[in-house]
Amino acid sequence: MSLSTALDSVARLINFRRRKTSLTADSAATRTIGIDPDNPSALIAPMPAPQAPPSRVVSLAPLIETLSTYLGPEDIARVKDAYRFADEAHLGQFRESGDAYISHPIAVTQICAAMTLDANAIMAALLHDVIEDQGVEKAVLLERFGPQVADLVDGLSKLDKMEFRDSQEAQAENFRKMLLAMARDVRVILIKLADRLHNMRTLEALPTYKRRRIGRETMEIYAPIAHRLGLNNMYRELQDLSFMNIHPKRFDVLKKAILASRGNRREVVGKTLEAVRGALPAAGIQADVYGREKTVYGIYRKMMEKKLSFRQVLDIYGFRIVVEDHASCYLTLGALHALFKPVTSKFKDYIAIPKINGYQSLHTTVLGPFGTPVEFQIRTQEMHRIAEAGVAAHWLYHNSEEKLTDVQKSTHHWLQSLLDIQNQTGDSAEFLEHIKVDLFPDAVYVFTPQTKIITLPRGATPVDFAYQIHTDIGNQCIAAKINGQLSPLRTELQSGDVVEVVTSATSRPNPAWLNFVRTGRARSEIRHYLKTMKYAESVEFGERLLDQALKQIEHSVQELTDADWQRVLYESGDKSREELLADLGLGKRIAGVVARRFVLSGLRNDAPEGDIKSAPIVISGAEGVAVQFSSCCHPIPGDSIFGYIRRGSGLVVHTTDCPTAERQRTREPERWIDVQWENDIDDSRLFDVKLDISMRNERGVLAKVAVEVSEAGANVKHVGMDDEAEEVTLLHFTIEVSNRAHLAKLIRRLRHIPEMVKIVRVKI
């Protein structure tokens, strides 16, 4: 270490000690640190201290007693060392409630100890505020406690900088940072959730409006993450605490109603327990049976979703049966159904098909004594442990997947998917949109043809399924079979469906898929592919547009020198030649304006004004997203066409007789250019055309039309039907043809149908 570095370290240490001394030397000047309204554990400007000293004495003994049940003496010694460091760092600080600030890290650590986190995580929990609040450098923690503890505390300190303002973009960015920190090391979010839980338990010292804001943030972000990680006890408590702070009056009313109803329902609960505890031993089943009351927020949500009053919510109480092994779960189910009449629509087997967060149990609802619906959950001890503590019940901090359980592997893959989405998504709001559906899933369970179970959010489609299998399968998906039957790609999958994806090596993602895919992974992969392809195609098309504009002044793109490009790029503010050309291809800039800029920047102009006619842009239909065909007139090869350069969407091609185009052309004439079809267009390339066909209303006419379309080598893409009169039916067809001659051949065949009345090509 150099002398200057050593002196700097000494100076920082002196200043650090001096700050602490200034807080404690003079009792009259003692100050307490305020709480950030968006992050109650973060510290802000000093505020007057309470007149009386803190009433509670903070003890480490309960924490050490808990840790001693699963940590060795060496780890306990390291934890005590971390406590001494944290206690010294927070000396003189108080929470807004008046308690010594060190009480907060200890309480957070007690929650982490209940999750049996390892020694490094326990130490990080004790130290989680020292970097952010006290300016202790990461290097100091690294030297004293090692790299793992230092990295965890550093990650938590970054999370504590989160400020959830009204700006949606700011919230999305903070959410993104938090999830990426979690993806790197799940212990970061486990400690952060413990931190948030203790803060939610101690919000009473804050004003109502701050409690409500923190409650909403917890309900929207932290509770769903706890649920996704399987931390069900924490998830339920965070929901109840959030509800209590967001709607305190509603919480109080429901709480009182639940307390009042306990006496009325005690007889139902007692008779149910008595019956079950008698029936199970008689069937040779050893089990622990106990009742449970649903959470206040759970009851409130059910009332809101089903529009029920409190009196109409019958299943406030449920029962949990914990047995020895898997087989006993199903034996218990049979015994219950023999004892009480089951509600057949209320049975779920989460043992055969676990939830996405690893939860396993049998759920059944029966009609108990007095005809009251009663829910039972049946599980083993191991299932119960995972159901309550989720991934934290047995998280192992190893890199080798062979050492992970199925629950841990599922979580690991989900965390990895967050990093994959981040790599393809630069925008925070878009990242938030992608992963929200994964945080709020109502899962369906489908099968591959090899009977592998795939878990997807409710509403997922075969496209989501394809991307869940592999990115390339999703990109090349052209069709899907559901339970052996060809089905549209937008079909919503149901639990139990067997899905088979049909692919083609020449296929690529369709932008329309974004309208119905549900998973963040599918949405991210589709957008990433389209952005990449759209950019390359837009650059190529923009170069053609610029070349056309330059020909008006007797120049071409090939003649432009590097100096010409540098001058224009400097004036336009674009970073590269490709960026400028892409803007031209996407319609964000006008080619004629850019060409004139080249002239103004020094390019010689030999063309007499008005003498050179603009050469039309030649298209083939294979340009991709840079060239789009209007949905109003559906131009096909052979039609007379022209193009509209729409901002951000490239070139939109219309027929010259399109009424919609004529109206737009009068408003923005400068954005219209001449376009013509390439001479030799591959006949295998198909284009949409709309036909309205009036037929006499006789049996089999639709089949006759379909036969003629097929015989003509065309393809029906969509068909609709209206009734003009009792005798005549109007059919609306969207048909794929290769060109105008192909369309004429098809129309000639259709006119030979005896029931044909009229055929009209639709151009709105």
336 Cβ contact list (under 8 Å, min separation 6): 276, 279, 342, 364, 366, 376, 378
Cα–Cα distance measured from residue 183 to residue 415, given in angstroms and rounded to the nearest whole number: 5
* Residue from 184, 195, 113, 204 nearest 162 by CA: 195
> How is residue 41 written in tokens?
């554990």
Which residues are 203's β-sheet partners? none
512: its two tokens: 């329309």
For residue 764, the tally of other CB atoms under 10 A from its CB is 11
Q: Which amino acid is at 747?
A: I
Strands 650-655 and 362-367: unpaired
The whole-angstrom separation of Cα 561 and Cα 557 is: 9
CA nearest to 548, candidates 475, 458, 645: 645
Q: Please, which residues bridge with residue 618 across strands?
A: 676
Adjacent-strand bridge partners of 32:
47
Q: Which residues contact 603 (CB under 8 A, 6 or more apart)?
A: 553, 555, 560, 564
- d(Cα 267, Cα 590) in Å, to the nearest integer? 79
To which residue do tokens 């030297």 refer? Answer: 143
| Catalytic option among 36, 99, 129, 132 | 132
Rounded to whole angstroms, how far apart are CA atoms 76 and 123? 10
Does the annotation mark 220 as catalytic? Answer: no
Cβ 228 vs Cβ 273: under 8 Å: no
Compute the chain's Rg from CA coordinates: 34
Contacts 24+ apart (CB under 8 A), 696-704: 696/727, 696/728, 696/729, 696/755, 696/757, 697/723, 697/726, 697/727, 697/728, 697/729, 698/755, 701/729, 701/753, 701/755, 702/731, 704/753, 704/755
124 touches 152 (CB < 8 A): yes
Would you call 274 a catalytic residue per the annotation?
A: no
**Candidate list 99, 129, 133, 375, residue with the active-site label:** 133
Question: Under a CB-based contact definition with an 8 Å cutoff, are residues 542 and 590 in contact?
Answer: no
**Residues β-bridged to residue 457:** 443
Give the per-residue SS3 of 531-590.
HHHHHHHHHHHHHHHHHHHHHCCCCCHHHCCHHHHHHHHHHHCCCCHHHHHHHHHCCCCC
Give helix 248-282 / helix 232-246 axis angle, nearest 10°.
150
Asked if 40 and 199 count as a contact pair (C-beta separation under 8 A), the reply is yes
The beta strand positions in 326-369, using DSSP E, are: 341-349, 362-367
> Residue holding tokens 């997922």?
460
Burial profile 434-443: b = 16 or more Cβ within 10 angstroms, e = fewer: bbebbbebee
Task: List all residues 6 or more positions away from 278 whose beta carbon is below 8 Å from its beta carbon.
Answer: none
Kindly list the catalytic residues: 132-133
